[in-house]
A and B are shown apart, each in its own frame.
Chain A
Amino acid sequence: MMEKLTDLYSDAYHRFKKAIFLFAGAIVLGTLVFAYLSHVQIDGGTEQVYVTLDVLFYIFCGLLPVAAAGVGCFVYVYCKRQKVWLSRFRKSKLNRRVGVFDIVLAVIIGLFCILCIYPIVYVLAGSFNQGADYSIGGVWILPRVFTFENYAVVLKDTDFWTSYGVTIARTVLGTALALVFTAIVAYAMSRPNLKFKKTFYAINLFTMFFSGGLVPYFLIIKSVGLYDNFLVYIIPSLYSVYNMIVLQSGFASISSDIHDAALIDGAGEFRIWWQIYMPLSKPVLATIVLWLAVGHWNSYFDTMIYTNSEELQSLQYFLLKAVQTSSMTEGMPPEMMERLSSQTLSLAAIILSIIPVFCFFPLIRKNFASGIMVGSLKG
């Protein structure tokens, strides 16, 4: 029977690996549920959660023996097939033994990773904790009094959604427009036959080295009429010299023959740019999109300086205000104030604001390798 199993599994090895990971996830989840049931009180305001968790717990208990048997079977088969199971961990691809240094290094870097993650774990714990209980202090890795109320309150907050909308709008619009604008200029700058090329470069590079400073810039924004206007998020960030330089080095690496061939076929420069150069330099464009989008999503200083009205505040500014001045509990009825605290509310808002970044992160992660090299900083 074991051999049959072996054959079966050897083909479906990868699928099984995935299943194992899923199961590990389920175990973690189950343990959390267990932790809640044994140590954690559930906030009275959310009885339903208690019932759900209860059901989850029983399902988990029922599944446990079945899953344990499955895992045991798999591990046994796997060990048998790969007789040198442990050697996978003991030897690297360079066929080098694992030394003390490797272990120390791995542990130190692992500790740093934990430090990087911990703040987010803390926020998660705080955001699921009941506000009044949180104010006593001492919540650090798991919520003590579990509740969804924080999220429920934040999700009903109209200011939160307005600022969320502003940020999404500025990120999408700002990134798209800035990309097109910068790419147009970068294309022209990358062409050897551009007239007055040196002058154009001089004009551009000067601004990288010397700037007027905050106040004169603010004056310009004001006198152009962008002050307290949604466009202030988009127009001033349409163009940046640094992005232009990165993009033009990407365009310049495309063979000039393609350009000449297209010219002979009768395409104009604009059409060559849009139909040939843009599609050919997707990796560079992806990098620039990443930079632009992250910049737009994350900035709050421009909200602080250039806008005044509530409807224009960006998500990040809203969050900062929520954390610094506890603005989220303003105007709440006193019976709600008894259980809620502005701190846990802002923690829940923080988690809600990270979710989109978290969703896009795997996508971004793939672009790292290609993106890094385009800056022509190859060492």
Chain B
Amino acid sequence: MVDEILTRTESEAETSDNTAQKGDRKIRKPWTGNDWVLVGMASLSVIFLAVFAYAPLYGLILAFKDGDGWLNISQAISVADWCEFDNFIAFFEDPDFWDIILNTLGLNLLQLLINFPLPILFAVFTAELMSDQYKKFVQTVTFFPHFISWAVYGGIFLSLFALDTGLPALLQQWGLTDSKVDILGDPDYFWWIIIGTSLLKGMGWGSVIYVAAIAAIPQELYEAAKMDGANRFHKIAYITIPSIAPTITLFFILSVSGLLNNGIEHLLVFQNTSNIERSEVLDTYIYKYGIPDFRYSYATAIGLLKSIVSLFLLVSGNWVCKKISGKGIY
């Protein structure tokens, strides 16, 4: 998508360059009032981004300073002592370091393995449903959780999995388990809670984009395939999937670049002290040390590390995709 826009702006820029070269190479056209208006409108974004996207980049020097525990942080940026890479080293030497990396990557890879393909399958198979009314019903029902926040949806599961009042007690009452299973407190279950809840909440909405892509496939292809004797599975394998492949690629690259990002609003709901060894990921770690604990420099350093690796993942993911399918996102 970004690719498309860039090529379009390039082609537009070229055409305007060409016209400029023909006539007025020497005489520059003076800016009209409308040019000023347009540039003014576009500069609004520059002003906004300067404050909320570029100014924070200046704050990154905190990563190389000893600014932990300062109350006035803006002062810490300029006054605190340089400490070079101490913050990074402290992170690598943290006893939790490998746990955090394992959790971050493990959770994300699991999500990539389960939560990435399932919406695609869901879209493909809902398109196969016979009744249109049923299709609409399914879409409505599965979309609904997307519009509820994680605080609420996660909160619902918190009370659903509560040890004494929710499912664990119920399962014991029904004799399905011998003792109450502590779903929320047991670190072993944490990843599966996250996978499961994000499937329930996100599968319908995640499939939207693929549903749209499938709807855009010309019906003649299916009719032609039918004439050639293709059955339903042939049609799915040789028409539907290849047609939505570009969309899949795009979202795959985006998910790969997000390998270090976990939905923090999602995780914080389910995180508690007893499952912390499996629930602590980079995002929650940065938040915990950065905001409530005032270890600004330390958290900034980890954040910087994360940003760099994410950028690297995006670029390399895009490169691999370009090599394989000849098309990336930029």
Contacts and interface: CB of A to CB of B under 8 A. Distances in A.
Contact of B59 (A216, A377, A379): A216
Given A106-B134, A117-B141, A379 B243 contact: yes
A309 interface: no
A50 interface: no
Contacts of B46: 200, 203
Nearest to B204: A116
B264 A375 contact: no
B125 A105 contact: yes
Given A135-B165, A239-B44, A245-B5, 20 more contacts: A93-B132, A106-B129, A109-B125, A134-B165, A187-B41, A197-B9, A212-B53, A214-B286, A216-B303, A241-B45, A263-B34, A298-B151, A299-B265, A317-B151, A322-B155, A365-B143, A372-B208, A375-B1, A379-B212, A379-B217
Contacts of A215: 59, 62, 286, 290-291, 296, 299-300, 303
A343 B165 contact: yes
B221 interface: no
B305 to A, nearest CB: 9
Given A116-B144, A300-B149, A212 B56 contact: yes
Interface residues of B, number: 117
Contact of A119 (B5, B134, B157): B157
Interface of A: 92-93, 96, 98, 101-102, 105-106, 109-110, 112-113, 115-117, 119-120, 122-123, 126, 134-140, 181, 184-185, 187-189, 191-198, 200-201, 203-205, 207-220, 222-224, 236, 238-239, 241, 244-245, 248-249, 252, 263, 268-270, 273, 294, 297-301, 304-305, 316-317, 319-320, 322-324, 343, 346-347, 350, 353-354, 357, 361, 364-365, 368-369, 372-373, 375-379
B195 interface: no
Contacts of A194: 38-39, 42
B16 A193 contact: yes
Nearest to A134: B165
A354 B73 CA distance: 39
A364 B147 contact: yes
A188 B42 contact: yes
B152 A353 contact: yes
B173 interface: yes
Interface in B230-273: 232, 243-244, 246-247, 250, 264-265, 268-269
B201 to A, nearest CB: 8
B169 A138 contact: yes
B112 interface: no
A263 B152 CA distance: 50
A275 B217 CA distance: 35
Nearest to B217: A379
B303 A238 contact: no
Nearest to A263: B34
A205 B1 contact: no
Nearest to B213: A379
B165 A236 contact: no
Contact of A368 (B6, B33, B39, B143): B143
Majority SS at the chain A contact face: helix
B142 A112 contact: yes
Nearest to A96: B130
B36 to A, nearest CB: 9
A185 B152 contact: no
Nearest to B2: A205
Max chain B C-beta neighbours (<10 A), residue from A181, A213, A248, A300: A213
Given A119-B153, A218-B290, A368-B143, A200 B45 contact: yes
A264 to B, nearest CB: 12
A28 B1 CA distance: 48
21 contacts: A105-B125, A109-B138, A113-B142, A122-B160, A192-B12, A203-B49, A211-B307, A213-B56, A216-B303, A217-B52, A219-B59, A239-B48, A249-B5, A298-B151, A299-B149, A316-B151, A357-B148, A369-B212, A372-B209, A376-B1, A379-B247
B292 to A, nearest CB: 9
B211 interface: yes
Max chain B C-beta neighbours (<10 A), residue from A110, A112, A120, A373: A112
B151 A244 contact: no
B178 interface: no
